[in-house]
């Protein structure tokens, strides 16, 4: 059994990377994205070298995640194949529309993707995500390290919330590293979009709330009055109260983003989790847990939300029925599936291969990025597979 060094530089570097990931505009710009991907690849290379030398054993979580790692590796290989040049005659059998596009340019060989640069960036980003997943399973191998990772995520989310809220309330309207071009009077943090900040805050809130619920103590009302008083003082002065205050700050910033997607997903997840714990939990839910969830819903949402703009979020949700341009994009995506039914047009190439050219400026940052990537990579393969299942 190899003993783990307490002062692990690789572990410290990984925590620093997790903390710094959202700072440079969430990696929305190519230079920032390249630097972050290079840092991930460097950490993975160091871990592989230590594992090869026998200084870094495989953790049980990493061994159990082999199917997921194999799936990610196969997906990365498939995206890499989209960059492989093929004869146009072979390409015409796989993707006739892509072959037509390259025949216009009088090319004898061409890849499956219609946008080499975007697919290459998407491939590197996929490898970076896989590397973060690998490092998390390989380095977070104890309860103490899990708590440390949770603290890093919650701290990063709280700083993002404070920064975004301060920029809105002060009127400075700065993002990172300069003034915001869009989304004024809405919290964006160091991200380029309010939806990006909302998704990040939902992630940090979920992690922090799960950690807080896992640390909930047994029912204190069955103890003596001295034990109750001691428990109450520990609750006010302990780390649980600090964590709850951090969750409160992130909840306020989440409402100030006025993101329909972020607010709706968080509140639905909070309510569904509370119902699951109440009716299907293995252990009896303590009153402290119920008070915590009720306070998040009543105090943190309805009371504070009314002060920072929850009514505006509700108004945006009510206006969701007016599809407008979103409906046009969804309709054209159906035609896109017909043009590229099997192999897609390449990861990240949706904005150049979509039948609609009028909105290509906005498609890269659209809230439908996952669907666009799925369509661009696989065409109808995944929908047909799900239909078959």
**Model confidence at 355: pLDDT above 60:** no
Lowest-pLDDT choice from 90-94, 99-103, 212-216, 309-313: 309-313
230-245 pLDDT, tens digit per residue, is 766 766 666 677 888 8
Q: How confident is residue 29, by pLDDT bands cut at 50, 70 and 90?
A: confident
Q: How confident is residue 275, by pLDDT bands cut at 50, 70 and 90?
A: confident
Q: How confident is residue 1, by pLDDT bands cut at 50, 70 and 90?
A: very low
For the ranges 102-111, 152-161, 263-272, the one whose mean pLDDT is highest:
152-161
Supply the pLDDT for residue 229. Answer: 72
Supply the pLDDT for residue 367. Answer: 44
131, 213, 162, 311 alpha-carbon torsion, rounded to 10°: 110
Name all contacts of 306-309 with Cβ < 8 Å and 24+ positions apart: 308/252, 308/255, 308/256, 309/255, 309/256, 309/258
For residues 174-192, give the mean pLDDT.
82
**Model confidence at 386: pLDDT above 60:** no
For residues 295-303, give the mean pLDDT.
61
- The percent helix, strand, coil of the chain (3-state, each to 5) is 70, 0, 25
Strand-pairing partners, residue 174, are 179
245-265 pLDDT, tens digit per residue, is 898 889 888 888 888 778 778
Supply the pLDDT for residue 384. Answer: 37
Q: How confident is residue 343, by pLDDT bands cut at 50, 70 and 90?
A: confident
């Amino acid at each position: 059994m190899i003993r783990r060094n307490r002062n692990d530089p690789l572990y410290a570097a990984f925590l620093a990377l997790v903390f710094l990931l959202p700072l440079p505009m969430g990696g929305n710009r190519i230079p920032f994205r390249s630097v972050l991907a290079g840092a991930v690849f460097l950490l993975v290379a160091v871990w592989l070298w230590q594992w090869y030398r026998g200084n870094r054993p495989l953790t049980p979580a990493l061994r159990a995640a082999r199917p997921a790692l194999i799936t990610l590796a196969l997906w990365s290989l498939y995206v890499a194949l989209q960059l492989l040049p093929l004869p146009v005659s072979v390409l015409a059998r796989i993707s006739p529309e892509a072959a037509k596009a390259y025949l216009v340019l009088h090319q004898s060989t061409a890849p499956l993707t219609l946008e080499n640069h975007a697919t290459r960036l998407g491939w590197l980003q996929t490898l970076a995500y896989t590397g973060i997943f690998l490092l998390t399973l390989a380095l977070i191998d104890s309860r103490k390290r899990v708590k440390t990772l949770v603290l890093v995520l919650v701290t990063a989310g709280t700083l993002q919330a404070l920064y975004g809220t301060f920029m809105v309330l002060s009127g400075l309207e700065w993002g990172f590293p300069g003034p915001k071009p869009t989304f004024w009077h809405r919290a964006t943090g160091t991200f380029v979009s309010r939806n990006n900040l909302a998704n990040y805050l939902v992630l940090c809130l979920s992690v922090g709330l799960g950690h807080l619920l896992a640390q909930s103590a047994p029912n204190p009302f069955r103890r003596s009055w001295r034990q109750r008083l001691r428990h109450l003082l520990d609750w006010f002065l302990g780390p649980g109260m600090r964590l709850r205050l951090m969750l409160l700050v992130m909840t306020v910033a989440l409402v100030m983003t006025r993101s329909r997607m972020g607010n709706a997903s968080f509140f639905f997840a909070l309510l569904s989790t509370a119902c699951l714990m109440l009716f299907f939990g293995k252990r009896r839910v303590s009153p402290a847990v119920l008070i915590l969830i009720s306070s998040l819903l009543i105090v943190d949402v309805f009371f504070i939300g009314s002060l920072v703009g929850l009514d505006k979020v509700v108004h945006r949700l009510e206006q969701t029925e007016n599809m407008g341009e979103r409906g046009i994009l969804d309709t054209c995506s159906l035609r896109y599936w017909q043009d590229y039914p099997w192999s897609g047009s390449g990861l990240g190439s949706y904005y150049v291969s979509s039948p609609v050219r009028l909105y290509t400026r906005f498609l890269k940052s659209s809230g439908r990025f996952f669907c666009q990537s799925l369509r661009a990579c696989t065409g109808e393969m995944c929908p047909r597979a799900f239909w078959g299942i």
